[in-house]
Amino acid sequence: MRFKAWLIGGMLVLCPVFGSFADEPRLQIQVITQGLEHPWGMAFLPDGRILVTERPGRLRVIEQGRLLPEPVKGLPRIAVLGQGGLLDVVLHPDYEKNGWIYFSYAASGTGGVGTEVARARLEGMKLVQLERLFRLEPKTNAGQHFGSRLVFDRAGYLYITLGDRGDRPRAQRLNDHAGSVIRLHDDGRIPADNPFLNQRRAQKEIFSYGHRNPQGMALNPQTGLVWIHEHGPQGGDEINIIQAGANYGWPVITYGVNYGSGTPIGEGTEKKGMEQPLYYWVPSIAPSGMAFYNGDRYPGWKGNLFVGSLKFRLLVRLELEGDRVVKEHRLLKDRLGRIRDVRVGPDDYLYLLTDEDNGKLVRLVPPE
């Protein structure tokens, strides 16, 4: 294993460096559509259409490679503030029978703005039977760290990532949703085995806490466990496997440092009772979007984990052995722009969204 030295808070820290950072192989980039304004999440409908969220508050439909000119009607009122707006979108695991589409978004309420989650059914180009399932409390006027990725596990529970809203101590408060991962039944009910259900004053929806701003989440197809990644501050981007009741440390422990000054944050990089990351980046890559690949389109990539990078404008490929990252590869450097989301399509190709004023949906095809 190779290591690279980084100066963190005045201390010289050795960080592991895995594998090649070369763009290998020379992937073909097929542009499915462009003209999307800061797209954030996508979902593949069984009929071949693709739903894409735009952060300014529009849900778009791509049909046979064409972006339909009119957005879907019937969304709830969305607060577009800083990093907030219309964010993730996923289908219910039993979508073909029940038709439920789930989406996360920023919404106004008492005290300011916060992440909310709703579900609805799509009829033509309109959402109907809208149900609000979750509201972050308390709300504030901050414009950052909304989190907002959505994933269903094999048991049908819905997981929601929430950022600390730019207020670090909130991530350690169990009476506050901010900086946590939420677990709910598909209809918004709180599961009877949620870890803090019987703890006085705790928010009962919380499944894990101590998170800064998780913007990637995926279900590992080999184990059925939920993985997330989250943004660190100028270092310390993390990958974690979510466990019931676990504290992931932010802002008490972190491998990141304060912006500008480079001064330490919290109490160091580890503390008893707080989880260590499965993997971390120093410096930050600004991760967003995450997907496990379990198909056969790309030779040698089965079982790999893919993470988009906003800062370095690339796609990270991580080779795994069980729950351990053994090698990192960096692909598509500066070929696409800021990669916001990463998904595996029903055709087993990787699909990416770019976070730009003129954002794109692209498909990656191996070289012939």
Pairing of strands 158-161, 150-152: antiparallel
pLDDT tops 90 at residue 9: no
Q: How many CB atoms lie within 10 A of CB 206?
A: 26
Catalytic residue among 145, 177, 211, 231: 145
Q: How far is CA 75 from CA 40, 101, 131, 160, 279, in A?
A: 16, 11, 11, 19, 37
Q: Which 3 state secondary structure label does DSSP give 102? A: strand
What distance lies between CA 179 and its chain's CA centroid? Answer: 13
Round to whole Å and give the CA distance between 227 and 224. Answer: 9
Structure tokens at 335: 């070929």
pLDDT at residue 26, rounded to an integer = 81
Round to whole Å and give the CA distance between 339 and 312. Answer: 9
Round to whole Å and give the CA distance between 267 and 282. Answer: 18
Q: Which 3 state secondary structure label does DSSP give 291? A: strand
pLDDT at residue 368, rounded to an integer = 74
| Cis peptide leading into residue 251 (ω within 30°) | yes
Mean pLDDT calculated for residue range 108-120: 98
pLDDT at residue 221, rounded to an integer = 96
Mean pLDDT calculated for residue range 218-246: 97
The dihedral through the CA atoms of 61, 143, 219, 257 has a sign that is positive
pLDDT tops 60 at residue 188: yes
Closest CA to 364 of 350, 347, 353: 350
Q: How far is CA 68 from CA 29, 31, 61, 305, 343, in A?
A: 22, 16, 6, 31, 21
Q: Which residues does 189 contact at the CB level (< 8 Å), separation at least 6?
A: none
CATH of the domain at 248: 2.120.10.30
Pairing of strands 287-292, 279-281: unpaired
pLDDT at residue 367, rounded to an integer = 82
CB 215 within 8 A of CB 230: yes
Q: Specify the pTM.
A: 0.94
List pLDDT tens digits, range 59-106. 999 999 999 999 999 999 999 999 999 999 999 999 999 999 999 999
List pLDDT tens digits, range 289-328. 999 999 999 999 999 999 999 999 999 999 999 999 999 9
- End-to-end Cα, the chain, rounded Å: 33
Domain range for 258 is 2-365
Q: Is 177 a catalytic residue?
A: no
Q: How many CB atoms lie within 10 A of CB 7?
A: 12
Domain total of the chain: 1
- Band of pLDDT at residue 151, cut at 50, 70 and 90: very high
